[in-house]
Amino acid sequence: MLETTTAGSLPKPAWLAEPEKLWAAWRLSGEELERGKEKAARFWIEAQERAGIDVVTDGEQFRIHFVHGFLQTIEGIDWEKKTRMGIRNDRYFVDVPTVTAPVRRSRSVHADEVRFTRAQTQRKLKITLPGPMTICDTIADGHYGRRSDLAMAFAELLNEEAKELAALGVDTIQLDEPAFNVFLDDVKDWGIAALHRATEGLSCTTAVHICYGYGIDANIQWKKTLGSEWRQYEEIFPALNASRIHQISLEAANSRVPLSLMRLLKDKQLMVGVIDVASQEVETPEQVEARIGAALEHVDAARLLPCTNCGLAPLPEHVAVGKLQALGAGAALARKRWA
């Protein structure tokens, strides 16, 4: 009951990459880089275990960015041909690589990382992959012509990857889809179909993480435009409830999402964000317990997984450690009270 988990990403140590920054370049190279990634992943696995996190991740220590980490070995992408592109409906602009030919996997992207991570812990293991729609919103298309076609092409590759990772002992495969809170019509038209293709044939637990973004300025400023209530979930949750995905996330900590929207997911497990990733203030266990209690007014405890709103990667390391500890301790308090 009330198994805890995180959205996935955790800060990289300053010796591995520039801290508190997304897309930060590696500070090591060659074999030293590979051992450094393993050292960082081991640190965060141990930190999660000490904090009482039940479903752990590698903290995404093996990848520079949650999307580009998967794309880096995919054929059909020209990394030298940069295209200026608006991300999340022009919330911010980035020079991104361009798809110039049919995409295909030359090999498994994350298998070696999963083998390493699986050997480090006896707890349930979750691996995150970028969702097809979010990939399409983070890379330029110079080949397929329609975003839905590009998404389905990547869904095929994600499915190949996911099956291999599940066979290595992964308990949960989570697809990250922050774009689902932006392109609401596309979610219903083809976004969920792409998720189904990406997770087809998997025997492990499947999850989709949908949030309002990392705690970076572009996202914080965007949230200020959303009004007194954030109701994007209301439009997509009914379709997600009818989907084959097992777990759905929502952002709840210090957000303006009406918690009653959880009732639209009556047939799913819910990863409910009870840790704010847009603040460096570390929650108390009592605050986390109260947030879990508020969620329990709308979802039964058997279906609730206390989680972080989003990834903790842009935060200082000590803040992230503190928030993990608060998550674990707050959930423990909640179990005593409501179990």
Task: Quickly count helices (H) and strands (E) in the chain.
Answer: 11, 10
pLDDT computed for residue 86 by the predictor: 80
SS3 231: coil
pLDDT computed for residue 123 by the predictor: 98
Question: At residue 89, does pLDDT exceed 80?
Answer: no
Question: At residue 219, does pLDDT exceed 70?
Answer: no
**% pLDDT > 70, the chain:** 98
pLDDT computed for residue 221 by the predictor: 78
pLDDT computed for residue 234 by the predictor: 93
H-only helix segments in the chain: 30-51, 68-71, 111-120, 132-136, 147-167, 184-186, 192-199, 217-223, 232-241, 285-295, 317-338
Q: In Å, how far from its chain's centre is CA 316?
A: 19
Which sign, positive or negative, has the C-alpha torsion 198, 275, 226, 229?
positive
SS3 12: coil
244 touches 200 (CB < 8 A)? no
206-228 average pLDDT score: 79
pTM attached to this predicted model: 0.94
Question: At residue 218, does pLDDT exceed 90?
Answer: no
CA distance 205 to 186: 24
Question: At residue 220, does pLDDT exceed 90?
Answer: no
Question: At residue 213, does pLDDT exceed 90?
Answer: no
Residue 62: HSE in the Cβ half-sphere, 13 Å Cα cutoff:
23
pLDDT computed for residue 215 by the predictor: 63
Question: At residue 266, does pLDDT exceed 90?
Answer: yes
The DSSP output letter for 216 is S
308-330 average pLDDT score: 96
> What confidence tens digit (pLDDT) does each residue in 31-78 have?
999 999 999 999 999 999 999 999 999 999 999 988 988 999 999 999
Q: Which of 114, 90, 98 is nearest to 41 (CA)?
A: 114
> What confidence tens digit (pLDDT) does each residue in 222-245 have?
777 777 888 889 999 999 999 999
- Across the strands, what pairs with 96? 83
Q: Which of 308, 5, 7 is nearest to 131 (CA)?
A: 7
245-266 average pLDDT score: 95
Question: At residue 121, does pLDDT exceed 80?
Answer: yes
CA distance 57 to 72: 20
pLDDT computed for residue 103 by the predictor: 98
CA distance 209 to 38: 25
Element (H, E) at 10: none
Burial class (CB in 10 A: 0-12, 13-18, 19+), 207: buried
Q: What is the chain's mean pLDDT, rounded? A: 94
> What confidence tens digit (pLDDT) does each residue in 141-183 have?
999 999 999 999 999 999 999 999 999 999 999 999 999 988 9
